[in-house]
Structure 1
Amino acid sequence: MRFFTVIATLLFLHLQLTGSAKACPQGICENSWKTASKSQKEQAFDIGDSYKDFLFTARTELTTVQKTIALAEKRGFKPWQTGTSIKPGDKYYHNNRDRGLLLILGGKKPVSKGVRIVASHIDSPRLDLKLRPLYATNEFALVQTNYHGRIKAYQWTNVPLALVGRIDKKDGTIVNVSVGLQPDDPIFMITDLSPHVAKDQMKRSAETVISYEDLDAIINHGPDGKLDVLASVLAYLKNTYGVEQADLVSSELALVPAMPPRDMGLNRHLIAADGHDDRLGAYTSLAALFSMATPEQTAIILFADNEEGGNVNVTGASSSYLQDIIGELIYAETGDAYRQPMLARALRASTALSIDMNPGINPLDTSVWEEGNAPRLGYGVNIKAYGRGLNADSETTAWIRAAFDSRNIPWQTTTYKVGKAGGGTLGTELSKLNIDTIDFGAPVLSIHSPYGVCDKMDILSLKNAVQAFLEYNRP
């Protein structure tokens, strides 16, 4: 009996060190921090640190594209040029108007035999400046804004904000703007009434306590010598960036939370930051791609813009950009023998993954979830099952289960309470191309607020899940 006890103990220690125990027996996972090996915990902390570094710079779709290209080029990725055929192991990227991006890792099979696509969006809730934003009142200079993405307006008051984006001048000059992210930069703020004078305001509902039209940020105060406060702002723009007030009409400037990403909790399991939705999806896609050797099918990572606004515009997932690029890749393979059915057949032979974050169970209010199908922080990737025709088909889901379980990747399911909540992803746009598509993501607390919270073990699980999706063979 003692012999068997020793053997069982050694086996337990081996599983703890190697992480080779099945992550989700019977399809029900435990908290990953309970079941993970020492090595897996170290990996979670390492990827958490890399993710924080990514988020510090990647504040909007513009800066995310810039940051990603820099990371990709360090790993041997080159700009893809029209007419370039993809060979096994080739590494390319294609910049879609500085606001979207596509990365390619050449597979063993030709593109005409189908590809694996992982799509996420790189825009997140923020406040865009109106094109004529400046005005002054009571010796304060303010900017008028419009919200991008679904937000609770009251959450954006009394939060340090940074001004980021670009101004395009008539002569073609691009002026990049970033104020508020560095520790010695000034920040901006939307101020709220103090409780001493807010008796009438406090009678309003949460939806109206701060109106969207009132989300105007203070960017300057008081005269500078003979210059009044507004003239002082215009002088700053002229002296610092060489732009005039009229140039703001052709600008894309946004106010984003200025707080840096930070570890949260005494054990540092969590990360608080702006932009988890959906730059967590983008980052884990990158991390997976950078970890891969040559796959069977060519891997395509798509970063799309404007998901928070409905996948619109030429850089959004509703445009023809993705299928156009795949068509160009097939044309580069086949030359004058190319015909449209080749693209249609390639899309049908492809599989797509749409990644998007969703709310996790909040410990302060669990009533909004039916807990048996609710995502919990630390429990791994969540397969989204929204119903009403939005789910992946059962055979694609079974294949994903097999891929996860073959690599001991913890996973869970996500279904909102019926008729009580909802959300959208890129999946609908991908499936319009006749591509088998599945949606999954990771749970985030305070999603769409200026400072959301995710779990480092979920980051690791999502990265491993993306890699499994790209590498695991379909029957």
Structure 2
Amino acid sequence: MSSLPHAPRTVKTALALSLLLGSHLIPTTTAQANDKPCPQGTCESAWKAASKDDKEQASAFGETYKAFLDRARTELLTVAAVREEAARQGFKEWTPGTRVEAGDKYFHVNRDRAMALIIGGKAPIADGVRIVASHIDSPRLELKGRPVDEGQGFALFQTNYHGGIKTYQWTNTPLALVGRVDTKAGKTVEISVGLKADDPILMIPDLSPHTARDQMKKSARDVVAHEELDPIVAHGPHGEDGKFSARTWVFQYLKETYDIEAADLVSAELSLVPAMRPRDMGLDRRLIAAYGQDDRLAAYASMMAAFDASRLPHTTIIQFADNEESGNVNVSGASSTYLPDLVSELVYAELGDTYRQPLFTRTLRASKALSIDVNPGVNPMSPGAWELSNAPRLGYGVNIKLYGRGFDANSEFIAWTRNALDEANVAWQTTTYKVGRAGGGTLGKELAKLNIDTIDFGVPLLSIHTPVAVSDKMDVLALKKAIAAFITHKD
């Protein structure tokens, strides 16, 4: 950037993002972390051999990551943030028919809820592309189509849930309401309440210990029913002489503040997300506690790797998909044809009238994909949940997922990936759940359906799928380096 003519590119990128997202921290170093590969389960914590410069770089990267998470609370907000920063980094909007040449950088948005970054590589697109895929939705609560209810003098929001959650964890948690409402007249109304320091918050009240004896007899699964996740929106009668109920007042408030009617809430996407800002955790500030790290941690690392990418051997597509937490569904999810359609368009723009369907399918067959999704790390309070010799630990780098039962990449692709990581000196580990005791899905199966060699990566988190998850700053940085190694490694 012109304002930093002598600064290394990594610093410029991090600084630009920190300015965009409201962070005032300027990274103090561009030294590469001295992480060592850890094959055969012999790895050590990356913090053990980390130099002062390594730790400062992880800290600086963590600051801009927290600023990103603070803004990117939903997929709508994430796409807006990535799109804005991509434009600042010189990416242009790609339109069908545009041929991508080596060094070109484009972005393409899918219905405001998913998108892709495209970086041109040296080889023809028809010879295969590199794909790095992550999802940008996170577990949350969503408002029903007719959400406003009333009980005991309170106005309440009726909700549904998105992604797997433990219901009791969402009570007594400050919540923000964010999203959009679309009216029949074609107007889009953006709503955000609860994220600013002086905003009111919403909350689902739980029973106090004094009145919860019957509740405490229930299993954890039944302590709070999904239908009981109803936050308080307003309380008590309103207006002169209290002639308006709390429910009626809510509708009046929506009309006066946003000019929307009750019926407009049917065509709305309004989410309830934790209102807490991302924070450092621990006296040593090595951990990050924040909502949305599943899987916007991977999205952030992918975005930053894309911004620093240059002279790639193959054209690379950084995919940000929606709705993974609900099964990759809908037009913005990874099960849609968005990604293969995009690759097909890129091949067509390159080949023109010589384009044929077999050439497209050969492109997919020659491609390589990295599917990234966070996964539970070893919890110091419950280490027995893992088979510890195959368990991912915070601070030990990225993990290659080896679940078995047909889920794994083939051995030659795993070997190729190991080579890429080791040559780039990236800390990595492997992870396998206890057999028959745990599990989870990723974007990997959707990529593999396209006949693309696909491998699954992760970064370990504590308290995954809760309102506040915990990551290690060294792992966040290691993931960016791993992505860079994947997209720059030559066949």
Both structures adopt the same fold (TM-score exceeding 0.5): yes
How far the C-alpha of 1:236 sits from its partner, in A, is: 1.2
Structure 2 residue corresponding to 1:375, chosen from 389, 392, 399: 392
Correspondence for 1:85: 99
RMSD: 1.2
Match of 2:200 among 178, 186, 192: 186
Distance in 1 separating the partners of 2:152 and 2:215:
21
What CA distance in whole angstroms lies between the structure 1 residues aligned with 2:97 and 2:111? 19
Name which of 124, 130, 139 aligns with 1:116. Answer: 130
Q: Distance in 1 between matches of 2:152 and 2:171?
A: 19
Paired with 1:139 and 1:87, the residues of 2 have a C-alpha distance of: 63
Alignment correspondent of 2:443: 426
Q: Say yes or no: does 1:398 pair with 2:412.
A: no
AA aligned opposite 1:248 = L
Which residue in the other structure is 1:292 paired with?
A: 309
Shift, 1:158, TM fit:
0.2
Partner of 2:49 in structure 1?
35
Determine which of 160, 166, 183 is the counterpart of 1:169: 183
Deviations 1:165-190 (A, max 9, x none): 10000011111110000100000000
Q: Give the distance between the partners of 1:257 and 1:194, measured in 2 at CA.
A: 21
| 1:27, distance to aligned residue in structure 2 (A) | 5.8
Q: Match of 2:321?
A: 304
The answer for unaligned runs of 5 or more in structure 2 is 1-30
The answer for the alignment partner of 1:447 in structure 2 is: 464
Change (3 A) 1:416 1:18: closer
- Mapped pair 1:106 → 2:120: yes
The alignment partner of 1:81 has SS state of coil
CA contact (8 A) 1:369 1:416 kept: yes
Q: Distance in 1 between matches of 2:457 and 2:355?
A: 34
Distance of 2:352 and 2:265 partners within structure 1? 45
Q: Does 1:149 align with 2:193?
A: no
Match of residue 323, structure 1, among 340, 344, 347: 340
Distance 1:249 1:24 in 2: 52
Residue 214 (structure 2) pairs with residue 197 (structure 1): no
1:45 to 59, 65, 69: 59
Give the secondary-structure state (helix, strand or coil) at the position aligned to 2:294. helix
Q: How big is the shift at 1:292?
A: 1.3
| 1:78-102 deviation per Cα after TM superposition (whole angstroms, max 9, x unaligned) | 1111110001111111110011011
1:294: Cα distance to partner? Answer: 2.4
Structure 2 counterpart of 1:266: 283
- Cα distance in 1 between the residues matched to 2:32 and 2:178: 44
Structure 2 match to 1:159: 173
Give the alignment of 1:234-245 within 5 angstroms.
234-245=251-262
Specify the SS of the correspondent of 2:96.
coil
Tell me how far apart the structure 2 counterparts of residues 296 and 37 of structure 1 sit (CA, whole Å): 31
Conserved? CA contact 1:148–1:309, under 8 Å: yes
User: Using the alignment, how far apart are the partners of 1:78 and 1:22 within structure 2?
Assistant: 36
Q: Name the SS for the 1:437 alignment partner.
A: strand
Could you say what secondary structure the match of 2:137 adopts? coil
- Given the alignment of the two structures, is residue 246 of structure 1 paired with residue 263 of structure 2, yes or no? yes
Q: Secondary structure at the match of 2:437?
A: coil
AA aligned to 2:409 is A
Equivalent pair of 1:116/1:299 in contact (CA under 8 Å)? yes
Does residue 128 of the first structure (1) align with residue 142 of the second (2)?
A: yes
Alignment check: 8 A CA contact 1:357 1:444 kept: yes
The Cα shift of 1:473 comes to 1.1
Equivalent pair of 1:120/1:304 in contact (CA under 8 Å): yes
1:69-84 counterparts in 2 under 5 A?
A: 69-84=83-98
> What percentage of aligned pairs have identical amino acids?
62
Corresponding residue of 2:248: 231
Normalization by structure 2: what TM-score?
0.92
- Provide the C-alpha distance between the structure 1 equivalents of 2:460 and 2:470, rounded to a whole number of angstroms: 9
Deviation at 1:228, TM superposition (A): 2.1
Which deviates the most, 453-462 or 132-141?
A: 132-141
Structure-2 separation of matches of 1:111 and 1:61: 29
SS in 1 for 2:384: coil
Unaligned runs of 5+ in 1: 1-16
Kept after mapping to 2: 8 A contact 1:18/1:37 = no
TM-score by length of 1: 0.95
Contact residue 134 and residue 371 of structure 2 kept, 8 A: yes
In the alignment, the residues of structure 1 paired with residue 329 and residue 212 of structure 2 have an alpha-carbon distance, to the nearest angstrom, of 39
Q: What does the per-residue CA deviation read over 1:284-304, in whole Å, with 9 as the maximum and x for residues that have no partner?
A: 000111111120100100011
Q: Distance in 1 between matches of 2:84 and 2:306?
A: 15
- Please name the residue that 2:228 is paired with: 214
Counterpart position of 1:11: none
Q: Aligned-pair distance for 1:471?
A: 0.4
**Mean Cα displacement is larger for which, 26-35 or 73-82?**
26-35
Q: Distance in 2 between matches of 1:191 and 1:216?
A: 9
CA contact under 8 A between 1:105 and 1:294: conserved in structure 2?
no
Q: What's 2:108 paired with?
A: 94
